[in-house]
Structure 1
């Protein structure tokens, strides 16, 4: 991949956007593509506006013979992002893909030092706050070949059992390749994020899926992704991003913030692969996701995270049996009990 191409992308050209996806996001499982080092980062994106409920104007015939907005009286709504605020995270849910748009979490050295919860007491459960017709279901993942991949990992929420339970809601999940990704490289990446509390007293991470195009032999670019479930219900992302904010002071209106953005393909990645190869300009994630992440953070308060810390993963053997269970996983408390708790989040 050429650095000149990335320069074009940062400049914002349309051609550069297509080139970026070709470079960062190859869909071939056997080849994990790399991305050179980039630019800077912005606040969790705002959900799409709620339905219009105000009275609709009726134009006079002298103004217009038609009233297209009149259909809204029947209940047509714009796209809705279901915002979910839980003890462990805040998220915006995409009803079309049955995956989150984004999931935001916050942890500190103090929160990670507490061990008041265990995964054995948590169960995967559907999000009761999402209308059933738009909900990701446990059955969608059953024998799908994909893990229910936490966007906010359970290990970041050990400070209370309720917080850990809330990470197991399906609106915090996306289908992820298991061996070689969710149970391996992605888990190491999550651990890397936790180690940042050695350098920063406050760390925020926004995580989410991407559905990126690839170039086909005919030279055209197409977006292609699998949908799992019967009937097909949940989209399988082609890639995942993380935007990291390392705050030098907690809740400071003037403190500087170290930023980094990463995009990883949803495929097996060798543990020998450098994490720096997946660092991208924040603008690349914004272009691909349609979100903005730091437009309210002044330039003078921004730093580049990977110039302050070594952006490499620490390869450790994880207990893979903890990473993924069957669709019928049951802990010491049942799904109904946790669903009841979810209604008050």
Structure 2
């Protein structure tokens, strides 16, 4: 049987409130004589969100990433979702929303090699800190989150950046954060989703992840739709109503 490569994309939209859940769904089509539905199934299910996927037969060979190509080119090889206030970090790329003081989106590229345990990287040595590349008028600060009841939720997960201490430190820039409910969400379901994305690298050569906040409308008693959200601290950091995470998975290992 000829070598098969697997391409897919998955989308998750999660409510910001504690207790909101997500589910993993996966569908497949016939691949080179393999039976329909071989990979289909639901891996876990709770309420109020969706994760959808598809698969298709890929070209016969997958060209390896050129190690001499700049890291930002590797991460963004499928293009930029938008070009608003883009910042290239050592191991992720961010588009920053200066109005809401959170990212529009953050893109990452995960591989098994880059996620390998590194004894020189210690997350406990990382501190949340302001982003000096953002003008002080448009930054979020630690005082915005203090006593707010919300966590500083990573968009680019610290656990995804283990190649060096510097890479891990950069995930603690406040420009990479958005307010998230802690118990039940950031420390639970969101953390599980981040872990799931890392586990994909056990089966796929390249996992591309795009993450960010959403501000979705809600119908109120008058029948009209409104977009409403809380803001935190003196800098008015916006609390998203939902979050999304999209993955593009490429190449069976």
TM-score by length of 2: 0.70
Q: Name the larger-Rg structure.
A: 1
What is the match of residue 48 of structure 2?
33
What is the match of residue 46 of structure 1?
82
- Could you tell me how far apart the structure 1 residues matched to 2:116 and 2:228 are? 42
What is the match of residue 175 of structure 2?
171
- Could you tell me how far apart the structure 1 residues matched to 2:237 and 2:187 are? 20
Aligned length: 192
- Could you tell me how far apart the structure 2 residues matched to 1:155 and 1:33 are? 26
Of residues 142, 160, 165, the one that matches 1:161 is 165
Cα distance per residue 1:191-225 (max 9 Å; x no partner): 00000011111111000000000111111100010
Closer/same/farther in 2, CA of residues 200 and 125 from structure 1, 3 Å limit: same
Q: CA deviation at 1:44?
A: 2.6
What is the match of residue 194 of structure 1?
198
Cα distance per residue 1:102-121 (max 9 Å; x no partner): 00111101111141311121
- Could you tell me how far apart the structure 2 residues matched to 1:210 and 1:118 are? 31
The two structures, once aligned, show a CA RMSD in angstroms of 2.4
- Could you tell me how far apart the structure 2 residues matched to 1:29 and 1:160 are? 32
Whether 1:240 aligns to 2:243 is: yes
Cα distance per residue 1:121-177 (max 9 Å; x no partner): 111110100110011111111111100000011111111000000000011000000
Cα distance per residue 1:224-258 (max 9 Å; x no partner): 100000x25100000000110111189xxxxxxxx
Query: Are 1:125 and 1:169, in contact at CA under 8 Å, matched by a contact in 2?
Result: yes
Q: Which has the higher helix share?
A: 1
- Could you tell me how far apart the structure 2 residues matched to 1:157 and 1:136 are? 22
Q: Secondary structure at the match of 2:204?
A: coil
Q: Secondary structure at the match of 1:111?
A: helix
- Could you tell me how far apart the structure 2 residues matched to 1:227 and 1:201 are? 40
What is the match of residue 111 of structure 1?
114
Q: CA deviation at 1:83?
A: 1.6
Of residues 210, 223, 227, the one that matches 1:223 is 227
Q: Secondary structure at the match of 1:126?
A: coil
Whether 1:212 aligns to 2:204 is: no
Q: Secondary structure at the match of 1:93?
A: strand
- Could you tell me how far apart the structure 2 residues matched to 1:136 and 1:84 are? 16
Query: Are 2:109 and 2:207, in contact at CA under 8 Å, matched by a contact in 1?
Result: yes
Q: Which has the higher strand share?
A: 2
- Could you tell me how far apart the structure 1 residues matched to 2:139 and 2:80 are? 22
- Could you tell me how far apart the structure 1 residues matched to 2:251 and 2:50 are? 27
Which runs of structure 2 are paired with 1:1-345 in the superposition (5 Å)?
32-35=47-50, 37=52, 43-47=79-83, 81-115=84-118, 116-229=120-233, 231-248=234-251
- Could you tell me how far apart the structure 2 residues matched to 1:207 and 1:26 are? 14
TM-score by length of 1: 0.52
Unaligned runs of 5+ in 2: 1-12, 21-46, 56-77
Closer/same/farther in 2, CA of residues 152 and 201 from structure 1, 3 Å limit: same
Cα distance per residue 1:60-79 (max 9 Å; x no partner): xxxxxxxxxxxxxxxxxxxx
